[in-house]
Amino acid sequence: MELSLIRSLMNKEFYDDHRGAKCPNRLFSKDVREIKQTIDTAMDRYERTLTPDEVEALFTSDNPTMTPARKEAFSSLFYKIKKEIPMGGDVAQEVLSKLFQQVVGEDIANLGVDYVTGDQSTLEPLRKLLEEYGDDFTPNLSVEWDDIDIETLLARNDLEARWTFNIPTLTRKVEGVNAGHLIEIGARPNTGKTSFHASLIASPGGFAHQGANCIILCNEEGYHRVGARYLTAATGMTMRDIKANPAKARDLYAPVKERIKIKDATGRDMAWVESICKSYKPDIVLLDMGDKFAKTGGFARTDEALKANAVHARMIAKQHECAVFYMSQLSADAEGKVLLNQSMMEGSRTGKAAEADLMVLIAKNPVVDGQEEEDTQRHLNVVKNKLSGWHGVVHCELEYQTARYTA
């Protein structure tokens, strides 16, 4: 970080905004501090932006008596500085401001210790310190404001449904999703959550067929079970049929297989999910189960941890330009009910729900005494919808053997 800051300080405009007390030399390690001093001298002398090569040449000429070992050490340091990508002006300003505040905090703490131990008899040095730094605690930012011209806004909003749902009854109400969206899907156990996302992604007309690169991170069921649902959804064949005719299944699976990546994420957290998104740049990220990526340490209550987890998921969607699907369990309050609501989300009734752009809760018909066959009807409760604004229930069928949701 300090090497990137050194590169930023070679820029005349940035240097002028942060010279003197705003960027004390003790922010930097010993060797880097010497390079900073060379930059200070050069800025006073030349009053222009400097290149790393120029700073190295000036540093070498100002230190003619360096030993060979020191020359080699600084040569290596300058090599690293040259490879550093300078921080953007706003980022560098914020980082420098925080480092500056830490230094001031240390000064204040040291003065406090001196006062308590009797080395200082008054608080006058503290008053002078705060007076000296003035309002330098707050960074000066140069912001590039977002474009809100009519053409830009129309174009951006036309992309709101880049990836459309392949369940006609749902598509008529909520066309689809796009990068930056957080979609929370909830259901009771054994309702068909895994089949739901397998169908949305892999079955005909699904996200993978539309060209979306999809990553499925599963920590509930084993990857092989999740993978089997995707295989049957993509091919429309049962596992028995696939075993009998794998060549046919392979041909049917081929069009989407390269756009579907599945990984067992047991024990992983949301920071790991973010690293995956940064490395592989998916269009769709599916977290099954979303809550199990949460870190509970440091939170007084579970709902606080789950809210923070959902906030992180939403941040990933926006910063890494993907749609994040967050699978969740529903509480026992939803058992046997067809009409569901947000308060039935397990573990976090409001905090987690507040982050969603779209929330769909899946219900099935109550079990009737003497019923032998599983009811295949499913009810998709759209309980939160910032995308199209529609709220209500749409109905569909679940084909168990092929993990497909159909109208």
Kindly list the domain boundaries of the chain, sorted by start residue.
Answer: 2-133, 154-406
19's tokens: 């010279």
- Predicted local confidence at residue 83, as pLDDT: 83
- Predicted local confidence at residue 88, as pLDDT: 65
Architecture of domain 154-406: 3-Layer(aba) Sandwich (3.40)
Distance CA 206, CA 216 (A): 14
303's tokens: 């709902």
Q: Which residues of the chain have pLDDT under 70?
A: 20-22, 86, 88-90, 92-93, 96-97, 100, 129-143, 156-160, 349, 370-373
- Predicted local confidence at residue 204, as pLDDT: 96
DSSP run (H or E) holding 369: none
The residues, ordered by sequence, that sit 6+ positions from 51 with a Cβ below 8 Å of its Cβ are 10
Distance CA 397, CA 323 (A): 25
| Helix, coil or strand: residue 84 | coil
Distance of CA 302 to the CA centre of its chain: 21
Distance CA 130, CA 96 (A): 18
- Predicted local confidence at residue 139, as pLDDT: 47
